[in-house]
Amino acid sequence: MKNTPFTQKHIALGAKMAEFAGYNMPISYSGINDEHATVRNNAGVFDVSHMGEFILKGENALDLIQRVTSNDASKLTAGKAQYSCLPNAEAGIVDDLLVYCIEENKVYMLVVNASNIEKDWSWISSHNTKNVEMHNVSDKTCLLAIQGPQATKILQPLTEIDIMNLTYYTFVKGKFAGVDNVLVSATGYTGAGGVEIYFEDKDGNAEKIWDAIFAAGTPQGLKPIGLGARDTLRLEMGFCLYGNDIDDTTSPLEAGLGWITKFTKDFTARTILEKQKAAGVTRKLVGFEMIDKGIPRHDYEIKDAEGNTIGKVTSGTQSPSLGKAIGMGYVEKSLAQPDNIIYIKVRDKLLQARIVKFPFA
């Protein structure tokens, strides 16, 4: 297992540790419900340094990004980011990712899922036919996500960058906690507001920034948060998790990601996706709330009233904010309307659930 630069910090804080995407990661500290509430109501710090970062440079960098991603990166100007995905040749999803425009038409950063770093690198490299300069900086990049409604207020004294007014899907670079060249962005995976900070793991930067954040934030209730609460927070917002809700067999249109699938440019599997859009998808990712008592889990079967299998659960949990069990899953499109009643097979019982619109909370 790999460690992040903060692994010893987590262990010293008594975190429950476990393997995730090949890394030794904190799952929880004080408990998922407490950590979840901390982020929703105040602010928490996630170590997400396991994520992958690629730098693409050169006059053909944008061209390469346009060919391998579904969204239209030509819309990005310096200081802006966008959510996108990498379609495969069959219109499945290699990965979902963030595209950061560092210098318009010349320098970009792609942020990919930890479990897909090697796969994504190989996929993008295989399409790099115009000698775009590519750097995999994943192993030397630290990434902390400070999330919650009070996050920017707590962090503002640590920098002269105006992070209080950083708008959604924008970023700035500057000095943070005495460390130069820190990238601060507002993309988020919790729906609770806040920022992410990227910086190079050198000269004791990791410890310096971690300690500064907690020195400023602990008196204001800031806490370290594990991946368990990250999952419940993103699920309440209806955000997809790669490997659960989207993968190489799901198309962005089936997953409700038509909004990041732009047919104004040429990209991998565009023709297949255009046909899918014209014909209509046969299944759709939906959210549902449990009516009967029980928690839906990944791969549980979804049934109709007659007991016919109509899909599978992709993610499920007990929502700390709502006090009820929620889930996501693919069902036949004809049965995907809000308020439709479906049944989740939990052990040998069929438990009633209702389809609802995203987000849950």
Q: Which helix (H) or strand (E) holds 321?
A: none
pLDDT at residue 319 in the model: 98
Reported as type and span, the H/E element at residue 82 is strand 81-87
222 to 154, 194, 215, 291: CA distances (angstroms): 8, 12, 10, 35
Whole-angstrom CA distances from 166 to 171, 190, 275 are 7, 17, 39
Q: Which of left, alpha, beta for 131 (phi over 0: left; psi -120 to 50: alpha)?
A: left
What pLDDT score does 204 carry?
Answer: 96
- What does the pLDDT look like over 155-167, one tens digit per residue? 999 999 999 999 9
What is 113-124 written as a DSSP string? -GGGHHHHHHHH
- What per-residue confidence (pLDDT) applies to 312? 97
User: Which residue type does 228 have?
Assistant: G
What pLDDT score was predicted for residue 203?
94
Low-confidence ranges of the chain (pLDDT < 50): none
- The 3-state DSSP class for residue 205 equals helix
Torsion, CA 3, CA 224, CA 228, CA 138, rounded to 10:
-40
Distance CA 333, CA 314 (A): 16
The closest alpha carbon to 143, from 112, 169, 115, belongs to: 112
Any idea how long the chain is? 361
- Count of CB atoms situated within 10 Å of the CB of 357: 10
Spell 328-349 as b/e; 16+ CB within 10 A means b.
bbbbeeebbeeebebbbbbeee
Closest CA to 137 of 48, 60, 208, 199: 199
Supply 315's token pair.
């993610």
* Residue 283 contacts residue 332 (beta carbons within 8 Å): yes
d(CA 155, CA 150) in angstroms, rounded, equals 9
Q: What angle do CA 350, 356, 358 make, to 5 degrees?
A: 130
> Which amino acid would we find at residue 165?
N
What is the rounded CA–CA span in Å between residue 265 and residue 270? 9
Q: What's the pLDDT tens digit per position in 24-60?
A: 999 999 999 999 999 999 999 999 999 999 999 999 9
Q: Are 205 and 179 in contact (CB under 8 A)?
A: yes
Give the pLDDT score at 209. Answer: 98
Q: Pick from 178, 140, 172, 144: which is nearest to 159 by CA?
A: 178
